[in-house]
Structure 1
Amino acid sequence: MHPSDKTAEQASMAPLPPTSPSSPSTTASPRLLHSSSSSSSEWSAVVQRNVKSSLLLLLVLSTVFVFSVLYSSHGFGSTAAEEVVELTRRPLVGDPDVSTRLVPGEEERADEPVVVPAENNVNQEQSSPAEISLPSANSSSPPTPGTAERTGEQSVVGVRVEERCDMSLGKWVREPRGPVYTNLTCPTLPDFKNCQKYGKDPGHLFWRWQPDGCDLPRFSPERFLAVVRGKRLAFIGDSLARNQMDSLLCLLSQAETPTDVYRDALDRFRTWHFPAHDFTLMAMWTEFYAHAVPVLDAGGKPTASFDIHLDRLSANWTSRLPGLDYAVISGGNWFFRVNYLWEGGRRVGCVNCREANLTNLGIAYAVRRVVRAALEAIARCRGCKPGLATFLRTYTPDHFEHGSWFSGGYCNRTRPLEEGEVSSGSIGWELRRAQIEEVARAREAAASAAGSRRFGVLDVTKAMMLRADGHPGGHYDKRWVRNASDCLHWCLPGPVDMWNEMLLQRLAQISPAPLVR
């Protein structure tokens, strides 16, 4: 209590001075008159002090009440915002990368021989060569400053959101239990992708991703299947999207063995079904999202380069969107070769070319444009479910050292890199930034249109930059690809399983299911 308040309180509690008895006489002695005047003055002072004390106390109580109301309103607003916007990511602080680039065309040469022989249940249906026309998108500029995502308590396209767990920042720590499955317990793991069978050091299996400030729970096959019961999920992208689907198949097969439903002639479109949970899992192949055709050489044979039409999307994957509940899109690695960009029926530039009178627009520009087009197509897909949730998995680098696929490159690390070993100047961070900004753009458009489709990010870039030890390298069946080293794809089991741990956390936020022990 303040000293002045204490003095006022003591004064108000003191006994009043005694009053003089009345006298019938109209005259009073001078002494009596003086006593009466003194008592009156003291009483007035006491009253004034009591009034001041009461007013001060009322002011303090009013202030406390007002602040309590404001605090309660603020807390309610934060909770409501968190519940309304659940799919949000943010960029990392800094911009490191450790990728050494692919020689243009070598990724394709490494992928092409990997063709699984046909099986009895294979549907030989061919993908439609048609494409979807898109409006021109002349600008590839990022969102206006102030609308992009911020670190920590963030503002994503103007919406205040608090992340329950930021899984993009963290480190790899020892995991003595090892993976959820092994190369021997996964019934769907192709033999040529069995790194352990072909001599891969098992040290890469005993690590887990530990986000800063929170935990990423170990993958639970039972919980994932409970969350996606009755749903359809597709991985849309290139061979790394297939890598993630293969990982999820291995993880879920620990709880239920899936049924192989469909495979196209090139094994690029796959469908699996988990009958006990009525869950359908699919892979949809697309190198660029956009309609692209190989550039022919003088003899009419396809080269490693492509003509990419930025204003048209391939119907090979867009025609399969209806019926999906969840879509996970990814990509970026195919843009590192020499490619030509088309719009409005003419060449408008290139990527990685050195031709006169043709502008090299850069990899990040091309990636931004096709990601934007893909997200816009999903947002306005007329035949798609209103609640379709789309996640973009961010770019992941290769870890070739001293060469590339067919030129002596290797990746023989036996433990994750330290953060100080990760470079800060590579293009990988620029691609990741473009992807995240385009998701923010799509989310803003969906919010302004009052749509129910949701967009989110699986930000795995930093985590995978550190895992130079997780690639097959030369540890695979050489009958599929000879004289090559694979430092782009990921061993199973391996670091790629973390992508599906992150996916489970995101799905559980929008489609809660009881925890399964």
Structure 2
Amino acid sequence: MAPVPTSPSSSSSSASPRLLHSNSSEWNAVVQRNIKSSLLLLLVLSTIFVISVLYTSHSFGSTAAEEGLTQQSTLVVSGRLVPVEEDADEPIVPAENNVASEQSSPAEISLPSANSSSAPTASTAERTEDQSVVGVQVVERCDMSMGKWVREPKGPIYTNLTCPTLPDFKNCQKYGKDPGHLFWRWQPDGCDLPRFSPERFLDVVRGKRLAFIGDSLARNQMESLLCLLSQVPSLNGCRSSNVSYIQHGKGHSFIAKQTSMQAETPTEVYRDAYDKFRTWHFPTHNFTLMAMWTEFYAHAMPVLDADGKPTASFDIHLDRLNANWTSRLPGLDYAVISGGNWFFRVNYLWEDGRRIGCVNCREANLTDFGIAYAVRRVVRAALEAIAKCHECSGNNLVTFLRTYTPDHFEHGSWFSGGYCNRTQPLEEGDISLQSIGWELRRVQSEEVARVRERTGSKRFGVLDVTKAMMLRADGHPGGHYDKRWVRNASDCLHWCLPGPVDMWNDVLLQRLAQISTTPLAR
């Protein structure tokens, strides 16, 4: 520290006490003023520094969040091949699509081709499943299509003993399937998919009519929903929440350990002679549930052999829809359409009354348009027919398209030694980018985006379950069904009940709940 200054008149080393005291007081005042100025300056600098840090952190956090959302919508998979999707009657190797892909608008989904090394990402169009509409403003919701299967110790909310409508072909535990496939749940990236609530679902659809339109997998979803909604007491008088197993003959059966979900038992009010169209009614909630059969959406007739008997092939008229389901659209409040697996047969495509090509035929004089082209054409026609349904506009029909789900046959097919004996979900590295399932998912999602854009209607959405079901090779009946009806076959296409298929209705409930609380724009 600098020496204390003395009076100019003082030349000696000692000064009077009065002079020392006066000089010291002046110096202290100077020091105090300097300290105050320094503290004030330090306070200003600190404030500027804190504001700068907060602004930088906010910007970094926003960027990180955006990057995180992008990563969550990306599926990382390997290039290992999985079994090609096959038909119920004969193994078919998918033909390459010889038709140039249609031009995509900026709003449409973009997924990698079979030869791409990049991972599929979710675009705005793909996320139609995860959006609700306020007026004309689209509000983003969690993307339920991307995620993973995680352990669920509670098991499913119903059992093969508590579902009164469970068909034997899906009652896998009764015929010996290991119950390990039941203790998994779908965990979306970045959010949760709530456990299915029968009470909530029935409350949302009170007074409504819902139809599943498609092939046997559409009926599989209806059967799942019936089990989720229409439970009866199990052997010990309880409904299922946490469950254990007992041995039942050669198979496993559930026993519920505690009371949980309450539900309403429906009444079957209609079934056609071929079991293609069925209607159930829940009187307490005045809710009607329907299944409407269509293999292709379009009008199709079996190809006859030389003896006039039907073969496994079909003539598909791309410019004519099947009236069996379109005539039943009026009066519906919700429709869930799905399909794709019947296109793996050898089929012939017709337009304007003439044969224009084929799918999987490999005939020299016919153009093989490929499965994706045929699926695109019929999905587009189906969606446009629904959009133009004048009788449907009065009740504001809302339509969801459930995306394609593959089979999991290994080393053969239905009657040629194929099987699906996995005991737990596949790893993501087992999913192939070369699987045609990705292409069909892309085509279906693009067509939903197209009809939304063309009509300006927000009443079309996607239930994207493709990735989730690609991983569930363990969820099929395989050989675990009543052999009195079909012998020497494995079912690696349909899904056990309970099983992974119940997740489809978890997603459906979330979408319906969003609609019930958020008005949709026309």
TM range (shorter): 0.7 to 0.9
State the 1:424 CA deviation: 1.5
Question: Which residue type is aligned with residue 491 of structure 1?
Answer: C
Q: CA deviation at 1:286?
A: 0.2
Counterpart residue number, 1:414? 423
Structure 1, unpaired ranges of 5+? 1-89, 109-137
Task: Find the aligned partners of 2:474 and 2:125 in 1 and give their Cα distance.
Answer: 34
Among candidates 222, 235, 253, match of residue 245 of structure 1? 222
Q: Residue 103 of structure 1: CA displacement?
A: 5.0
Secondary structure of 1:511 counterpart: helix
1:366-385 deviations in whole A, cap 9, x for unaligned?
Answer: 00000000000000011114
Matches within 5 A, 1:360-509: 360-386=368-394, 387-447=396-456, 451=457, 454-509=459-514
What are the Cα deviations for residues 347-394 of structure 1, in whole angstroms up to 9, with x where unaligned? 111000111220000000000000000000000011114411100000
How far is 1:481 from its partner?
A: 1.2
Identical columns (%): 80
Contact 2:110 2:442 in 1 (8 A): no
- Take 2:137 and 2:428, find their aligned partners in 1: how far apart are those partners? 30
Q: 1:99 to 1:508 in 2, by over 3 A?
A: farther
1:308 counterpart SS class? strand
Amino acid at match of 1:296: L
* Counterpart-to-counterpart distance in 1, 2:165 and 2:499: 15
1:148: Cα distance to partner?
3.9
Counterpart amino acid of residue 421 in structure 1: D
- Judged with a 3 Å threshold, the aligned counterparts in structure 2 of structure 1 residues 153 and 409 are, in CA distance, closer, same or farther, namely closer
Q: Which of 187, 196, 204 is 1:227 aligned to?
A: 204
The 1:443–1:366 alpha-carbon spacing in structure 2 relative to 1, beyond 3 Å, is same
Correspondence 1:259-338 to 2 at 5 A: 259-338=267-346
Are 2:84 and 1:100 equivalent residues in the alignment? yes
SS of residue paired to 1:172? strand
- Per the TM alignment, residue 324 of structure 1 is displaced from its structure 2 partner at its CA by 0.3
Task: Give the whole-Å Cα distance in 2 for the aligned partners of 1:506 and 1:309.
Answer: 33
Q: Aligned partners of 1:91 and 1:189: how far apart in 2?
A: 36
**Larger deviation: 407-416 or 418-427?**
418-427
Change (3 A) 1:139 1:107: closer
Asked if structure 1 preserves the Cα contact closer than 8 Å seen for 2:74 and 2:146, the reply is no
Contact conserved, 2:109 with 2:445, CA < 8 A, in 1? no
- CA RMSD across the alignment: 2.8
> 1:165: Cα distance to partner?
1.1
Could you tell me which residue of structure 2 aligns to residue 218 of structure 1?
195
Question: In the TM superposition, what whole-angstrom CA distance separates every residue of 1:71-129 from its partner, at most 9, and x where no partner exists?
Answer: xxxxxxxxxxxxxxxxxxx8967798734332573499xxxxxxxxxxxxxxxxxxxxx
Relative to 1, partners in 2 of residues 1:496 and 1:374: Cα closer, same or farther, differing over 3 Å?
Answer: same
Are residues 1:354 and 2:362 paired?
A: yes
Q: Aligned-pair distance for 1:277?
A: 0.3
Which amino acid is 1:427 matched to? I
Aligned 8 A contact 1:149 1:155 in 2: no
Moved more, 496-505 or 97-106: 97-106
Matched to 1:313, the amino acid is L
1:479 shift after superposition: 1.4
Offset at 1:187?
A: 0.6
Given residue 462 of structure 1, which amino acid in structure 2 is its aligned partner? K
User: Aligned-pair distance for 1:156?
Assistant: 3.5
- Whole-Å separation in 1 of the counterparts to 2:310 and 2:516: 45
For 1:202, the equivalent position in structure 2 comes to: 179
- 2:248 matched residue in structure 1: none
**Partner SS, residue 510 of structure 2:** helix
Letter in 1 for 2:85: R
1:435–1:395 CA distance, 2 compared to 1 (3 A): same
CA-CA distance at 1:234 after TM superposition: 0.2
Distance 1:140 1:421, change over 3 A: closer
Q: Retained in 2: the 8 A contact 1:95–1:425?
A: no
- Take 1:210 and 1:272, find their aligned partners in 2: how far apart are those partners? 31
CA shift for structure 1 position 317: 0.3
Residue 99 to residue 275, structure 1, CA distance change in 2 (3 Å) = farther
Distance 1:307 1:334 in 2: 12
Structure-1 separation of matches of 2:122 and 2:309: 53
Distance in 2 of aligned mates of 1:148 and 1:160: 20
Aligned match for 2:105, one of 139, 144, 153: 144
What amino acid does structure 1 have at the position aligned with 2:215?
D
CA pair 95-232 structure 1, distance change in 2 beyond 3 A: farther
1:192 offset after TM fit, Å?
3.4
In structure 2, the CA distance between the partners of 1:103 and 1:187, relative to structure 1 (3 Å rule), is closer
CA contact (8 A) 1:104 1:304 kept: no
- Partner Cα distance (2:219, 2:264) in 1: 20
Q: Equivalent residue of 1:435, what SS?
A: helix
Counting only pairs closer than 5 Å after superposition, residues 42-81 of structure 1 correspond to structure 2 as: none
Work out the number of aligned pairs and report it: 396
What letter is aligned with 1:180? I
Secondary structure in 2 matching 1:183: coil
> Structure 2 CA distance, aligned partners of 1:322 and 1:425?
40
